[in-house]
């Protein structure tokens, strides 16, 4: 709904179909290869080597429900990237990059951080913790959002802006989405879904913390939902007033993206920070998004969903934020079930030293590097083969009519060309 409302009406059918394709293609890819690369129970710190096609699942470590939960993260990554290249991409390209991203690129990063054998893992089961800490990315500011954002960056950069997005003098021409109602609906659906992603990443609820009275994962789950809400809400408010100062009016679509930017940023440290720190996270996430959007226009970078700026920029900020504000007690609760006597770095601003922040910076850098050397060449290869971007004529006409048999709606203001695919074909034959 968010994607559909954020594009022009002549491309609504296309963007909805690509979201469906990301899910169905990603399901097969993650089943065959992705889960094995991410969580294969080997001692390899770079990549998993078993559980292909869920062979030997259930195991002593994982069951089917864990696969299904992780699958939802995997297909979210492809959905993020789809938004960056919306309104100008051949449908076949979606099939290719979605399969590769969910089956190989994303799972490798997930293995680094979320597998106990990964070299960035904060789990004490890891053979050695990077900087004595490991990277804390509880629900995926880096693993999910930064990966999707950087992949979208390369796709959008290689394709170039949409036809008419910038005039002959390089000035941006507004191309607003066609349906604000769908954008707001999609935003609220995502807000609800984030309560599954962030608190749900505890996996188990009935885990009591020692040396406490009545506390356990159930209290941390509630706190995580609170920090998620506060970060998103703060970012939404700051974006509301920030954009009001910049453009002179209250913009609902900007507020929705600001809200989501706050959610993206808090996703890394949602379980290990205080509620007040979540407000700090959301405040700066809003300005990261606003600043990157201004920079994107100056560089003539065209991302219809602002996915690169939102998921990439706010995801990177979220990782750094965690290295600054993670609370010692909460880190032990999230990763060591509250065990006493364990010493590990925590937030720099709370006296925890540089170890955690260093690991967070490393995660940002290696994700940017890994996704760039994998997805960049893939998009460039598709471009050179002529299967990435649609023709100028088809783009102007709209992907719905040129690729999907007709418009998503019976009538809309842009409907000045053929209404049905047959009419489109006859028009092309005449030209």
Average pLDDT of the residues in 331-338? 81
In contact, 227 and 270? CB cutoff 8 Å: yes
If phi over 0 gives left and psi between -120 and 50 gives alpha, with beta otherwise, what is residue 250? Answer: beta
Q: Residue 415 pLDDT more than 60?
A: no
Q: Which residues contact 388 (CB under 8 A, 6 or more apart)?
A: 89, 90, 93, 158, 159, 379, 382
Burial of 414 (0-12, 13-18, 19+ CB in 10 A): middle
Q: pLDDT digit string (tens) for 369-381?
A: 999 999 999 999 9
Alpha carbon distance 431, 428 (integer Å): 5
Q: Report percent pLDDT > 70 for the chain.
A: 94
Confidence band, pLDDT 50/70/90 cuts, at residue 418: low
Q: pLDDT digit string (tens) for 118-139?
A: 999 998 666 688 888 899 999 9
Tokens of 278: 């979540």
Higher-pLDDT residue of 125 and 58 is 58
What pLDDT score was predicted for residue 65?
92
Q: What is the dihedral of CA 355, 359, 361, 367, to 10 degrees?
A: 180
Q: Residue 232 pLDDT more than 80?
A: yes
Residue 172 backbone dihedrals phi, psi, to 5 degrees: -70, 135
Domain architecture of the chain: domains with CATH: 2-389 (1.10.3430.10), 390-431 (no CATH)
Which DSSP string corresponds to 384-425? HHT-SB--HHHHHH-HHHHHSSB-SSS--TT--S-SBHHHHH
Alpha carbon distance 109, 141 (integer Å): 12
Average pLDDT of the residues in 87-92? 91
Burial of 299 (0-12, 13-18, 19+ CB in 10 A): exposed
What pLDDT score was predicted for residue 233?
97
Which of 73-87, 196-210, 337-351 has the weakest average pLDDT? 337-351
- For 172, other C-beta atoms within 10 Å of its C-beta total 14
Average pLDDT of the residues in 282-297? 96
């Amino acid at each position: 709904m968010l994607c559909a409302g954020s594009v022009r009406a002549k491309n609504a059918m296309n963007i909805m179909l690509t979201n469906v394709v990301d899910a169905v293609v990603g399901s097969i890819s993650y089943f065959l290869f992705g889960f094995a690369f991410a969580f294969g129970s080997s001692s390899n710190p770079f990549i998993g080597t078993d559980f292909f096609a869920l062979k030997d699942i259930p195991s002593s470590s994982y069951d089917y429900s864990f696969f299904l939960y992780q699958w939802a993260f995997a297909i979210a990554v492809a959905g993020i990237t789809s938004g960056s290249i919306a309104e100008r991409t051949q449908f076949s390209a979606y099939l290719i990059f979605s399969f590769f991203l969910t089956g190989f690129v994303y799972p490798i990063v997930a293995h680094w951080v979320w597998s106990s054998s990964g070299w960035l893992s904060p789990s004490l089961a890891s053979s050695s913790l990077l900087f004595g800490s490991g990277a804390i990315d509880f629900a995926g500011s880096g693993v999910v959002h930064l990966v999707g954002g950087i992949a979208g960056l390369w796709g959008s950069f290689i394709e170039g802006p949409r036809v008419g997005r910038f005039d002959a003098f390089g000035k941006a021409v507004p191309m607003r989405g066609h349906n604000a109602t769908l954008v707001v609906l999609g935003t609220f659906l995502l807000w609800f879904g984030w309560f599954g992603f962030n608190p749900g990443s505890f996996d188990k609820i009935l885990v009591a913390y020692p040396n406490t009275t009545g506390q356990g994962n159930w209290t941390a789950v509630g706190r995580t939902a609170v920090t998620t809400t506060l970060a998103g809400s703060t970012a939404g408010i700051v974006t509301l007033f920030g954009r009001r100062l910049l453009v002179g009016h209250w913009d609902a679509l900007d507020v929705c993206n600001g809200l989501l930017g706050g959610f993206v940023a808090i996703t890394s440290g949602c379980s290990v920070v205080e509620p007040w720190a979540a407000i700090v996270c959301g405040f700066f996430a809003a300005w990261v998004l606003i600043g990157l959007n201004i920079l994107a226009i100056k560089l003539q970078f065209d991302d219809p969903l602002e996915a690169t700026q939102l998921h990439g920029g706010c995801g990177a900020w979220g990782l750094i934020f965690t290295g600054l504000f993670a609370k010692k007690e909460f880190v032990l609760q999230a990763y060591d079930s509250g065990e006493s006597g364990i010493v590990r770095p925590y937030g720099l601003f709370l006296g925890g030293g540089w170890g955690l922040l260093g690991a967070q910076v490393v995660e940002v850098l290696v994700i940017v590097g890994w996704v760039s050397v994998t997805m960049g060449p893939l998009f460039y290869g598709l471009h050179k083969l002529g299967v990435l971007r649609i023709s100028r004529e088809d783009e102007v006409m709209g992907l719905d009519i040129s690729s999907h048999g007709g418009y998503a709606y019976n009538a809309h203001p842009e409907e000045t060309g053929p209404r049905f695919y047959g009419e489109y074909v006859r028009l092309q034959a005449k030209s």
